[in-house]
Each structure stands twice: as C-alpha cells, then as structure tokens.
Amino acid sequence: MALGLQRPWQVLAGLLLCLCIGRWAEAGKVLVVPMDGSHWLSMREAVRELHARGHQAVVLSPEVNMHIRAADFFTLKTYTSSYTQDEFDSLLMSHVHVHFERVHFLTLFLKAMTILKKGTLMFERFCEDLLYNKDLISHLNASSFDVVLTDPVYPCGAVLAKYLSIPAVFFLRSVPCDLDAEGTACPNPFSYVPRLLTTNSDHMTFFQRVKNMLYPLSLIYICRVSFTPYARMASELLQREVSLVDIFGSASMWLFRGDFVMDYPRPIMPNMVFVGGINCAHRKPLSQVSRSRELEV
C-alpha cells in the first residue's frame, strides 16, 4: 500500500528530472574564438543572444588585445601571449598612421606591406600561443564543447576546432581570395560574381570581366602571407598534410553578416546562411529633425 502511494511521487520526480535534464540537454557549450577589433563587436552580440537562449559561451583571447573584455554573458579565458600590450598598441597605431602619411604611393604601399606582415606575424604568434599551450589545450579538450564559433578571417579558431575534433560554425562578413567558395567547392563564376575592389556589378562587359579576373591576382600574395602559417600549424598538430582549402572547408555552417539587399547575388552552398542586419540590434529611432525632414520630402 505504502509502495503504491510512493509511486506517483516517484513518477512525478522522474518527470521533473526529465524536464530539467531536457532543458539542459538543449543548451550547448560554445567555444568562441573571435577576431579582435570590430569583428569581435559584431560577434559579441551573437554571443549575448546565445547566452539569452541558455547556452554557455567561453571566449578565448590572448591576454593582449584590443576590444575583448569580460562580460556577464560569457566566460573569458585568456592565455599568455608572446607580445606585450605596448608592442600590440604600437603596431596598431603604426597601421593607423600609415594611412595619413603624405608620401609617394610606392613608399606607402611598401610601408603598408611591412605593417601587414608584422600584423599577420603577431596573429600567427597569438595562435601558436594558444595551440601549443598544452595545459590550455587539454583543459579545452576535457571541457567537451559542442561547437566552435569563430571568424575564419582569423583561421586559428578553425584549426583549433579541427584539432579538438569539434564542429565549427563560421561567423563572418567575408574572407579574401574567395577562400569561402574554394573551401566549399561553391560555384563562383568570374563572368557574373563581382570580385572584391573591382567595383564591377553582376552585369559586366567583356573588359570588366577581364578586370574581374585580373584583380584577384593582386590579393593572392597577401592571402598567402597571411593564411599559409595556419595550414602549417594544422599540418604539424594533426600530423598530416592540411591545406588552406581543408581549413576553410571544415565549417559545418557559414553565417554571413550580409544580405543580397546590399551585396550582389551569387551562388551559395546549403550550409551558408545570411544573417545580415544582426549588427542592427540597437536601432535608434530617427531624431525629430530627420523625421520632420522626411515628412517635408
């Protein structure tokens, strides 16, 4: 008899437990490897929303950085880096200053290239500080994350995801040198997909198409300098040949902060989703002045 009375409570308790566990099972553990600067400011809003929906986010950053500060909607995990904050700041300032210098175009170009090389070397070092930090890697490995959220413009997160065998979600505005199309084997015809910096539209004359083919060649050197180190690191860590295309092809999902309202249409793959407008979370109402002007018009 007593047993009979106990049962409904046991059932209820079991049901409650299931409900609670069900709620937890829905929540994921997200490892975030951001690109510093404005890139992070966009990604931070996505992390805020993940937190609001019950997911846990851990943001990884070198202790030396620009914008990545602790907040109550994620756990910040920093690691020691081989650069000091002063070195980081001075490189950043030289990058800003070079654009205001009144020098010959060629001098400016060479200076900009030197700074670019120094900058990419710094980010490469940051990535080494992370990937070759045994304690940190084994801690991350033991934390069993469900997914890595990362901006592939800094491919360190993609390499980390491969190293830890965790699916990666790319969150980006764009990557240079059509590495997104190459990585996903996405059709990308020169005849009507306008290339970066060409100012072409999706309707091109013959000569515009020629320009569309020639412009990307100038970027190839920059992409090689900036991205090849990550393929080297991935090959070293995984002990097999890993190419850049492998790294860029490793994402489960691509979330593009764009929209075909603003960009020309182009072929995309089924795992590419456009989330343009995500940065407009804090819309401000029009001021009274601009509203009355609008009415006059």
Ligand X SMILES: *[C@@H]1O[C@H](CO)[C@@H](O)[C@H](O)[C@H]1NC(C)=O
Residues that bind ligand X (CB under 6 A): 137-138, 141, 163-164
Pick between residue 193 and residue 234 the one whose CB is nearest to ligand X.
234
Torsion sign, CA atoms 61, 33, 69, 95: positive
> Measured between alpha carbons, how far is 245 from 158 in angstroms, rounded to an integer?
11
Q: Say how many residues make up the chain.
A: 297
CB 160, min distance to ligand X, A? 9
Smallest separation, CB 164 to ligand X (Å): 6
Q: Please report how close the Cβ of residue 248 comes to ligand X at its closest, in angstroms.
A: 21
- Pick from 250, 267, 82: which is nearest to 191 by CA? 267
- Least separation in angstroms between CB 243 and ligand X: 20
Q: How far is the CB of 141 from ligand X (least distance, A)?
A: 4
Q: Is the dihedral angle over the CA atoms 233, 239, 240, 246 positive or is it negative?
A: negative
CA 29, CA 178: separation in Å to the nearest integer? 30
In angstroms, give the least distance from the CB of 134 to ligand X: 8
Q: Which is nearer to ligand X, 156 or 193 (CB)?
A: 156
**CB closer to ligand X out of 115 and 136:** 136
Strand order in the sheet with 272-274: 75-79, 56-62, 29-33, 147-150, 168-172, 251-256, 272-274
Quick one: 82 or 138, whose CB is closer to ligand X? 138
Cβ proximity to ligand X: between 141 and 252 the closer is 141
Residues ≥6 apart with Cβ < 8 Å to 85 = 64
Q: What string of DSSP letters covers 95-135?
A: HHHHTT----HHHHHHHHHHHHHHHHHHHHHHHHHHHT-HH
Beta bridge partners of 29: 56
97 versus 139: smaller Cβ distance to ligand X: 139
